[in-house]
Structures are given as structure tokens and as C-alpha cells.
Structure 1
């Protein structure tokens, strides 16, 4: 497992590089991943606009900023993503805002289809669901937690719908985008702060 993670880390990119990549692909009418369908190209264009908006508008409360700044463990968040993924476009800008508050947190990204061995080691209910955050202790190289593909409230929302309907419909996926827009990253902030507090309880005392 460590060798798979290390290999992916060596190919990883920063958030700024990822944003530039998505912007370039959107302008060129292309997308990341093995498939280059018109639908995925359109999702990449949409996600470029989403991330641009979130980069400007995500706000982290002052009390949460303090907790995040107190975290003192050197960790890497290795995120598996693709440019066409709607959940990723909502979640990753929030992760970046959090990581920017603490130099002990290093945010790196890799593309799923170029790192299938890594992806298959971190499936969600047997699926290659993204974004998937792998949290790594930089000293021990051990995986200390994972997160994703969706924030906790969205996950519950999706699971309840699946139990009733069997699968997600286009209408539901549209409703989920409204949820992300209304939530404004708050659930991701809550989830990640909780994880940091569990890793280092003194942060939240």
C-alpha cells in the first residue's frame, strides 16, 4: 500500500496547478480521464466555473480558523479527482481554503484514471467514487483517515434517496447541486474540523 501511495504522490500536483489544468481543458473543450465525451467536456466547463466561484466566496468562521491553525501534525491530503466530477468541484476548493490556513497540511491531487491502483485501494461501497481524500501522516507514511466522496450531510441525503428509489436520477443530481450551493461548503468545513480534532484533540479544547 505504501508503495502505491508513494508512487501517486510523486505524480501529484498542487491545487493551483489543478485549477490551471481544469481551466485550460475547459477553454480547449476537453476533459481529464479516459473518456472524452461531450457530456464530460460540458461538466468540466461547468466545474471550472463552480471552482472559480468557490475560490472567491468560501468563508471559514473565525473560531474554526483558530482550531485549524492550532493543528500541529504534518499531514498530506492526497485527493483523487477528475475535472468532470461535480462533487469534486464543490468539495476540493473548500479543502484548499482549509489547507491554506495551516502549513502542516499539504494538499495534493491526482487523477483517478491515471491512478487506478490507488483508487481501487480506496473504494467507497465497492465503487470508484471521487473525490476521495487520503490523509497521510508525513512521518510514519501511514494512512490516518479518509474522506469523501461527499460531505456527511450530502452522503445521508444520497443514501436516503437510493434506499427509496434504487439509484440516483438526473432530477436528484440537480437537487444535490442546489444543496451544495446553499450549504456553501459549511458541511465540509465541519467534517474536516471534526477529523482534525479527532487526530489532535487539544485543537478543540
Structure 2
């Protein structure tokens, strides 16, 4: 940006800038202090005619601060996972506190959608993330008690299946209600061969304490 003293002085006139549907440019130089912009009205009745929005998740989370992410998308773009709260006692007949669950959505192509529900968390899911692996779908999640879970998702003839491969209980004694789970964001260069072992490195944090990287 130029210093203020070097900017051209605007004339005390009125400038009209017009854009139409056939224009290839979407910007114009301003030289007047009064500017009137006219655009093509288009045929839409709300929002932008060049952008279409579609609701993918209609779950209403409780308005509060969340330390982690409640929604994750796999690097392929075909899988979506998000945290939901189960009714009291849904995961355990004796539990009197809300338990967490994870909804997994598989969208292999436009207009086709399949869903699965991951249960068994001891508390509300506080963070979840997919491993950065293109040809495998591995999901990690961690609940409000610090327990974390690993699930592998495989596509089959009937759709897809979800298999629990690991569950690690929190035993550091740190406590607190801030827990995160983070995959190594490994993306190979064009000349490098993919190394899935690196992408399977996982870090969990509990309050202000972080565990060592784990290979899952």
C-alpha cells in the first residue's frame, strides 16, 4: 500500500462504475470522491447468483466455547464427521451425564449419502480429526474426560463400515476439561513417495500437558 502522501487526490466529481453479466473484470479504478456502482440484477432472489449454499449438518450445538473442533472432513472430501450429544444414558444404562457420539456421513457422489453413528464414548466428544491420508480413512476423537478413540472406516459393497481399532483411557491425572487430538499434518511433496506411517503420528493434549506422539 502506498503512503497516504503518495496516493492520488480524488476529484470532487461523481464517478459511475457499471458492471454487467458479460464483464470479465470485477474491479475498477476509483478517481472521484463520490462513486455510484451499478450491477446486473441477475435472476436470484437472495444471496449471490454465483454461490450456492447447501446445508450438510443441521445439528444444533449448545452455544458455548469449545476448545476443539466438532466437525471434520476427510482429505478426500467424501467423509464428514461431527460430534453430537447422546440422550442421557444412551451409551450406558447407569450414566446420568450426557455421553458423546460421532455421526459419520459418506458422500461418494452428489445426491448419494450414507450415515453411521459411532457410540461408546465415556463423555461428550470435545475434539475429532481425520488423519491426513488420502487412501485411508482414520478418525480420532477425544472426550471431555481425556479418553481418546481411533476408528477406521472402510468402503464396501453395501456402503461403508466403521471399526474401533483403539481406545486409550486418560490416566495422567491432569484433569480439567480441555483435551485435544491432533494428527501430524503430513502432506508429501510431488517428488516424494507417500509415507503413511508419518501421517499416523498422533498427539493428544490434556489441559496444559501434551502426551508424546503415538503411532496408531
Whichever structure has more strand as a proportion of its residues is 2
Shorter-chain TM-score bucket reads: under 0.3
Higher RCO (CA < 8 A, seq sep 6+): 1
TM-score by length of 1: 0.26
Whichever structure has more helix as a proportion of its residues is 1
TM-score by length of 2: 0.25
